[in-house]
């Protein structure tokens, strides 16, 4: 079975969730029908995710094999005063994540960014070793651009199973998307809901979103509001369905149970003419990371 059919189309993203929120949302999401839960060591909520999984298992809602659990190793970034992780550091990081998650394996393990310019290939070799040892089912990366992926190719190593990238109508990454599709690297999109006027409105939830973008998102003339009215769905569901129709897996994040339902239960098709209108909404680079788009890392 290919990676494309193994990754659930809709998963739960847990970035910026506290451990308590991650526990509750993981549990509630699984009750609703979600099977993919995405976390990371730097989110500091793996233990919360573990508790949500434990509750679900103990109540017989699912078995472990029903679930698809993703976590990530942060590679280190010398610009932030962090040493770049070595092969052994990556192996240890996964062991620590498994302990926090209370799991024997994860379904997908990602190198969180390409910031470790000196040890990228070493880190990738560690993931391949973990895959051969059955500690991870699939090995992938996040926020890697074509140059980074070509380094793997040039080292005569297998390309990642997946690349998780910021991907939404305002950041469509056409060249990278084409490269990934041409090389059978499955795409997982995060930050699907960036264009919403309600996206990241709490204190501390920073990004590169400009005031012009804020104004556009709140305007009644926003294309996504117009399409939501046309299809009689939520604006968020237009953004999610756009990604699903392009065959991207998605990870919408919310801490509201009502929106867990909205992000999972919808069924409609965006007409081709409207998909073309959305294609014209592309603004270029990433918006999610307040300190700069990691796809621009050398």
C-alpha neighbours within 13 Å on the C-beta side of residue 236: 19
Q: Catalytic: which of 27, 43, 109, 138?
A: 43
Distance CA 266, CA 271 (A): 15
Q: Is 43 a catalytic residue?
A: yes
Question: Of 99, 163, 186, 193, whose CA–CA distance to 294 is shortest?
Answer: 163
Distance CA 106, CA 69 (A): 6
CB of 171 within 8 A of CB of 264?
Answer: no
First to last CA, the chain: 34
Cα 248 to Cα 132, 148, 180, 188, 201, distances in angstroms: 26, 21, 11, 6, 26
Token readout for 264 is: 């999972």
Which residues are tagged catalytic? 43
């Amino acid at each position: 079975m290919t990676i494309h059919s193994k990754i659930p189309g809709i998963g739960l993203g847990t970035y910026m969730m506290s451990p308590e929120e991650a526990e509750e949302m993981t549990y509630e999401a699984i009750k609703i029908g979600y099977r993919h839960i995405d976390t990371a060591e730097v989110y500091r909520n793996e233990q919360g995710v573990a508790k949500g999984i434990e509750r679900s298992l103990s109540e017989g809602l699912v078995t472990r094999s029903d679930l698809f659990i993703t976590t990530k190793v942060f590679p280190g970034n010398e610009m932030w005063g962090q040493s770049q992780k070595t092969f052994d550091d990556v192996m240890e990081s996964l062991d620590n994540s498994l302990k926090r998650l209370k799991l024997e394996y994860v379904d997908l393990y990602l190198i969180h960014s390409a910031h470790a310019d000196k040890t990228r290939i070493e880190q990738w070799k560690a993931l391949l070793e973990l895959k051969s040892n059955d500690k991870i089912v699939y090995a992938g990366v996040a926020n890697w651009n074509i140059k980074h992926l070509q380094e793997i190719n040039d080292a005569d190593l297998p390309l990642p199973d997946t690349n998780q990238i910021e991907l939404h109508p305002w950041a469509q990454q056409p060249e990278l998307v084409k490269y990934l599709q041409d090389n059978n690297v499955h795409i997982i999109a995060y930050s699907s809901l960036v264009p919403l006027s309600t996206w990241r409105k709490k204190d501390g939830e920073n990004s590169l979103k400009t005031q012009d973008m804020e104004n556009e998102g709140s305007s009644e003339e926003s294309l996504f509001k117009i399409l939501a009215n046309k299809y009689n769905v939520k604006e968020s569901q237009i953004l999610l369905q756009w990604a699903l129709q392009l065959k991207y897996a998605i990870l919408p994040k919310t801490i509201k149970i009502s929106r867990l339902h909205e992000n999972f239960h919808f069924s409609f098709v965006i007409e081709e003419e409207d998909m073309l209108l959305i294609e014209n909404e592309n603004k270029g680079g990433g918006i999610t990371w307040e300190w700069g788009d990691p796809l621009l890392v050398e």
